[in-house]
């Protein structure tokens, strides 16, 4: 990892992971991103509405990031809308580098059990090239959100954090579903007005 001046968690989704990363790396933790508790989940909204929500939901303290090499920590990276906006805002407020640390593996596969991600093509980490390794994937995602680098928690380490892993669902990371009842994506077209992910070429 490149030299980092401070760890900045996404509040509140990345706070626990951010504290852990700061402790392990012995790097200062700065609560530079503030959250409006009255605004809902950004990634569940359409593209235009999500962009409006992001600007309302998070605000950045410029005095904490100006001239700093910042590593943002969040619990997941799904469509990338919040990440892209946050990276741009951090740079606007003077951060000289912005790295993104994700406390889960890449969200590669659609989830139709609980999260509103029924389509593969809306996921930032889902790509048709299955031969691409994790390093290449992280580089592509970093380019898409405008970050200097992206780091994911390896699946093996994530799996070990569960005391009863056999009873957990990891479909969104592996694409392997516990029940053979995945609906065909063509049957779901029309039920959502916006299923576009961020383009890799930004």
Q: What does the buried/exposed string (b/e) look like for 140-151 if buried means 16 or more CB atoms within 10 Å of the residue's CB?
A: bbbebbbbbbbb
Stronger pLDDT, 184 or 197, i.e. the higher one: 184
- pLDDT at position 124 is 87
| CA–CA distance, 96 with 142 (Å, rounded to integer) | 15
CATH class of 6-188: alpha beta
- At 90-143, the pLDDT tens digits run 999 999 999 999 999 999 888 777 666 767 778 888 865 566 688 899 999 999
Q: Pinpoint the alpha helices (H) of 93-184.
A: 134-145, 155-160, 171-174
Domain locations in the chain as residue ranges = 6-188
For residue 44, what is the DSSP state?
G
| Percent of the chain residues topping a pLDDT of 90 | 46
Beta strand extents in 28-153 (DSSP E only): 28-29, 33-35, 58-60, 69-74, 97-102, 149-152
Q: pTM of the predicted model, to two decimals?
A: 0.79
């Amino acid at each position: 990892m490149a030299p980092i001046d401070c760890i900045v968690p996404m509040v509140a989704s990345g706070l626990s992971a951010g504290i852990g990363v700061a402790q392990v790396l012995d790097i200062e933790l700065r609560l530079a991103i503030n959250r409006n508790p009255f605004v809902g989940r950004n990634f569940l909204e359409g593209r235009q509405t999500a962009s409006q929500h992001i600007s309302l939901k998070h605000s950045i303290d410029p005095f904490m990031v100006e001239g700093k090499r910042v590593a943002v920590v969040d619990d997941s990276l799904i469509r990338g809308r919040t990440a892209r906006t946050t990276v741009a805002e951090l740079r606007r407020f003077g951060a000289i580098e912005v790295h993104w640390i994700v406390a889960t593996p890449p969200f590669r596969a659609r989830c139709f059990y609980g999260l509103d991600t029924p389509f593969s093509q809306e996921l930032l980490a889902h790509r048709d090239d299955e031969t691409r390794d994790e390093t290449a994937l992280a580089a592509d995602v970093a380019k898409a959100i405008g970050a200097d680098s992206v780091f994911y928690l390896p699946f093996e380490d994530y799996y070990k954090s569960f005391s009863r892993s056999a009873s957990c669902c990891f479909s969104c990371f592996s694409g392997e579903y516990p029940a053979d009842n995945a609906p065909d994506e063509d049957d779901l077209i029309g039920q959502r007005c916006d299923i576009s992910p961020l383009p890799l070429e930004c």
